[in-house]
Amino acid sequence: MKDYYFIQNEVKNMLTFDRFIHSLGVEKEAIKLGERYGVDINKCRIAAIVHDCQKDLSDEELIKKAMEYKIDVDKIQLKSPQLLHGPVGALYSKEKFEIEDEEIINAVYYHTTGRENMSLLEKIIYIADIIEENRKYFPQLESIRHEAYKDLDNALIMSADSTITYVIKRRCLIHPLTIEFRNSLLLGVK
């Protein structure tokens, strides 16, 4: 894997100023959550800094790169190509930054949709993306921020509920992985 500072500088050059600040905020939050839940801090740091590395690509560019990476693009992703920034970013990071750790790759790949039975690192990147200090507009944000340090899975359920409600109100498509993610969390709650 390339050196962290090389990766950070490359990501900085790929993103808008605001998106890079967001990525730094996700990194800061992921490190704190990693410390709280006993997850490798370096993995948290790397996954967080690269999670949105392909977010500023156009819809057309994301679809083109997804095809180049042989990602199985579904009909929902074709209608909402920004959902591809995680999968494309994961495979780009593997290639460009030589990240071979599958847990980091999966954390980047699924940070937008979630998926069934996510690892602790995947959950941390997913929630850190939502609760980082620069985020201002996510519904129930303060409650989710508070819950993330008490009960991570419950915070994830809250965020999935909020995301799904928001998407429904906008009459947009919900990716099946998000439904599977939410259901797996609910099934795991005792």
What tens digit of pLDDT does each residue of 47-77 get? 999 999 999 999 999 999 999 999 999 999 9
Give the CATH number of domain 4-188; options: 1.10.3210.10, 1.10.8.50, 3.30.70.141, 1.10.287.980: 1.10.3210.10
Q: How far apart are CA 69 and CA 129, in angstroms?
A: 24
Q: Is the distance from CB of 101 to CB of 119 less than 8 angstroms? A: no
* CA 18 to chain CA mean position, Å: 17
Q: What is the pLDDT of residue 137?
A: 79
- Residue carrying the six token digits 């790169």: 65
What tens digit of pLDDT does each residue of 98-118 get? 999 999 999 999 999 999 999
Tokens matching residue 39: 């997850």
Q: How far apart are CA 147 and CA 26, in angstroms?
A: 17
Instruction: Identify the CA nearest to 119 among candidates 156, 82, 172.
Output: 156
Q: Is the distance from CB of 185 to CB of 126 less than 8 angstroms? A: no
Return the domain boundaries, the chain: 4-188
> Which residues in the chain come in under a pLDDT of 70?
189-190
Tokens matching residue 171: 């009459």
pTM for this entry: 0.96
**Exposure string for 4-19, b = 16+ CB within 10 A, e = fewer:** eeebbebbeebbeeeb
Tokens matching residue 139: 């519904």
